[in-house]
Structure formats: C-alpha cells, structure tokens
Structure 1
C-alpha cells in the first residue's frame, strides 16, 4: 500500500475581476453589477482555505473583462494528464478559452479540442465517478449531446449521457455530485424522466442521496468532494445528517456572491490530477 498517496491538485482563479456583467443563466437575472467584490474575495479565500489541507491548489491568473474565469470547473475535463478543453456555447465566455488552454499546455497536459461542431463546458458538464469508473455527462443547455461518445472514446471510459431539463440547473455540476464510497448526490427534478431512470439503474438505492428542491436551489450539489469531506455552500440539517450517515463530513462555507452568477464550490474549482 502506498503510504504517501499523491495529493490531488485543484485549479482555482482569484475573483479579482469577478462580477455579473451579463446574463447567460437564470441566476444572473437582476444581479448585474450587484456583487460585492470584498465579500466575494472573502468567500473565495475561505473556500481555498478549506481545500488546502486536502489538496494542492494551483492558481490561474485572473484577467480583466473575463468575470467568469473564476469558474475554473469550465476550463475542461481532465484525467491522467489528458484534458479536453472547453468550447463555450455563450459568446460572453469564449475569451476564457485561450487562458485555460495556455495553462494546461504550460503544465504539460495533452490538450484535446472537442469536435468543431460540438459545444462542451468542461467539468461543468462532465463528472468522473471514480467508484464506477464512468463519466456522467450532461447536455441540454450548454454542452452538446454528442460530447458523451466523444469523451468515452478519448478516455476509454464509459460515458453516461444525462439530459438536463430545468434551466436553473444548466450545468450537470449544479445538480449531481459523485461522492466517495460510491455515493451520488443529485436533484431528481433537474433531469428528464429517462435520465432519472438511467441514474437509478446505475446507482443502487442505498448509494443515492436525493436532495430536495430547497437544498438544490442553495447549490448543495455544486460541492467539492475530497477524501471524506464534502465542501458546499449550504445544506439542510437533514442533508447534513444523510451525508454523515454515508461516512462523509460536510463543511459549509457561504458562497452567496458567486451564486448570483450561477456557481458555487464546484464551479470555482477543477480537479486536474
């Protein structure tokens, strides 16, 4: 047994230029120019401080005029030094692409582009379930349905396609989170019936942690799971107890400034190794 397992590395980007400057999802409605830069930095630093004892943190330099660069989950999807980089559906975010690409290239990743005709928004819509060695892949709002077979072929790993049905949960990582021990936290209301059935066919009932709408709307599924710790913006007492019953430790840290733009803990991070 390896007594010194390699620590995971998480990519983050400071919120120096973060704010709601446009509207590309329902959470942004009415929030233009209403974020508090000081509070956003405080919340980001608190999240980083919770992650640092559990993983290495790599930092991407923030860039002017790219307020959503802070959401590094959308940089790409990486496994074993290979990364499929994002091709954003929304023009407002396409300026982020060269900075993410340069970061991965500088660190020696095999950088792979999605097919020219397919939008793909990285680990916002592609989540590796290590317990099952599969990739959950969301589509319907940002990423193209055909990205799942592309990822399956590139990574030689089964990809399970899930259709998102609620525009509030426009990325898969806002409504589904693979957890240690083979558990899966998800909000059933975010998926179409066929996708809910697909989840239930793959994940045994005892391993499924269904969340209620109020928890989902507080971005509980947009969580960072490291070892036995689950870091998230908020969770009801019932959900916290369910996580503890699964042998997991929930850590709550407010990320309300970032929710104004449609993201929380998971959106602000990307596991890159």
Structure 2
C-alpha cells in the first residue's frame, strides 16, 4: 500500500512536559537565541498550555516535571532523556548552561521506578535520538557525540543509525527530521551531510521532504501519533504534503518558545512503554 493511500490510525501517546515558568533567553547556545530580544514569559506559558491542552484533547496522557529556577531551557523536555521500551537513557548536555537539566529529569524517572541509565557520553535526549519502528535515528555534529550513539545502542538493544548534521541552524536532529509513523519520516535534506542524506534516502525512500521555507519555521520540530501531526502553524507547505498522504496536520503557535530554539517536539518527551 502506498503512502498516499494508507489508512492512518492515531495511537494513544504518553508524554512528559515542563511548564516554562522560568523561560527566558539569557545566553546564546544556538543560532536562534538572542539575549538582546525581549521574551514574554507569560505568552510562552500560554502557548505551552495550548499545546498541552491539544494533546489532552487528542486523548493522550501528559505528565509534568516541576520546572527548576535557573534552568530556563528545561521547558524543552525532549532533551531531558530518551525512553524506549520503558527504559530511560538520561541526557548529558554539551553546554554548561543546561548541565543540571540531565540529573533533574533522571531523578524524575528514578523516583517513579523506571529503569534508568546515567550516561557516560554526551547525548541530548530526543533532541538527537528519534525512534522509528526499527531504528533509533541519532544526530551528531553539533551536540550529541558518536560515543553517545554507541552507548544508546548497547542500552536499548536497537540499531542506532548515525546521521551527521551540517547546518548550525538545525543543531539537533529533531529540528531537521520528524518521525511520522513506525516507518515514515519527514526531513530537511539540506541539514545533513551527503552520506547521511544517502542513508535516509535508502531507509525512507518515500519520505516527506521539507522545503527550505518550512524547515526555517521549525516545521520539522513536530509530534505525530500516527494520524495527527502537531507542527508549527507557519509550516503550511508541510501541512499540505501531510494532508495529501492521509495525515491530519494541526498547527500550533509556539513563537515565543522558538526564541530559545525550540517548538512542538522540543517541548514533548515521549514515554514509550514496553512493546
């Protein structure tokens, strides 16, 4: 059955989120951050609440981790860990400004009885680890290390496919690629090294390809339940492509959180249970 005729079925998801109570841009560790631009924290909270309410309206389960003062980027929960088959690989951040987030997230999981692994190597959670039905796709080039990829493969027991990012505007894999279903993805070819593009073409020959315009509005920082695809509302071209393939795109407005270099997916950590 082709991608254009496949029947899409949403599946219930379990997410972890962190309210942006302390969100601000006081340092710059990616090209999207500019401390000179004012941030409206109240607007950031309101936009985040709309995303949370959307997930709940779609029937998904959402849990919350308490925000920590002094960690303005903790709202980007996807970076806090990677959860596969009920096992939690903690995050170890490259930048000192975010280093304390890793232990905070790991403590949340440990307190709830998850099997956790405190990583020895740099990985920034689902910022650079995206899970398909068969693989863990793993970004490197700006944040997570290749040693972290090997550590993830050993812990999860799943093939980890390394993909090199080359454009600093797309510094995490989840800014350049999104998983739509077990065996379908969408991505920005221009964000990857030639060899990594060739790997993606081989693994996902029918992938949705983002235009530079849709990539630039963080259209690939999206969350899918197999039918509903929540993505930045400005990514209208991607929305049209998704609709043509039987998905139901839903635009979200997270413009304030984009000032920190994150959008829908960055705010959403999926808690995948055992299969």
* TM-score strictly above 0.5: yes
Residue 230 (structure 1) aligns with: 229
Distance 1:266 1:237, change over 3 A: closer
In 2, distance between residues paired with 1:193 and 1:270? 29
In 1, distance between residues paired with 2:204 and 2:129? 17
1:167 is the counterpart of 2:168 = yes
Query: Map of 1:126-137 to 2, 5 A cutoff?
Result: 126-130=129-133, 133-137=134-138
Which is worse superposed, 209-218 or 226-235? Answer: 226-235
Secondary structure at 2:214's aligned position in 1?
helix
In 1, distance between residues paired with 2:41 and 2:265? 20
Cα displacement string for residues 48-106 of structure 1 (whole angstroms, at most 9, x for unaligned residues): 11111331000111111110011000111111221110000000001212210110001
Give ranges in structure 2 of 5+ residues lacking alignment.
1-9
In 2, distance between residues paired with 1:268 and 1:72? 5
Give ranges in structure 1 of 5+ residues lacking alignment.
none
Secondary structure at 1:54's aligned position in 2?
coil
Is 1:185–1:209's contact at 8 Å kept on the other side of the alignment? yes
In 1, distance between residues paired with 2:24 and 2:131? 29
Alpha-carbon RMSD across the aligned residues, in angstroms, is 1.5
Distance 1:140 1:50, change over 3 A: same
Aligned length: 262
Is 2:217–2:235's contact at 8 Å kept on the other side of the alignment? no
Is 1:223–1:230's contact at 8 Å kept on the other side of the alignment? yes
Structure 1's consecutive aligned runs of 4 or more residues displaced over 4 angstroms after TM superposition are none
In 1, distance between residues paired with 2:223 and 2:155? 25
1:125 is the counterpart of 2:128 = yes
Select 2:14's aligned residue among 9, 18, 27. Answer: 9
In 2, distance between residues paired with 1:146 and 1:161? 11
Is 1:231–1:265's contact at 8 Å kept on the other side of the alignment? yes
Distance 1:135 1:47, change over 3 A: same
Q: CA deviation at 1:32?
A: 4.2
What is the TM-score normalised by the length of structure 1? Answer: 0.92
1:97 is the counterpart of 2:102 = yes
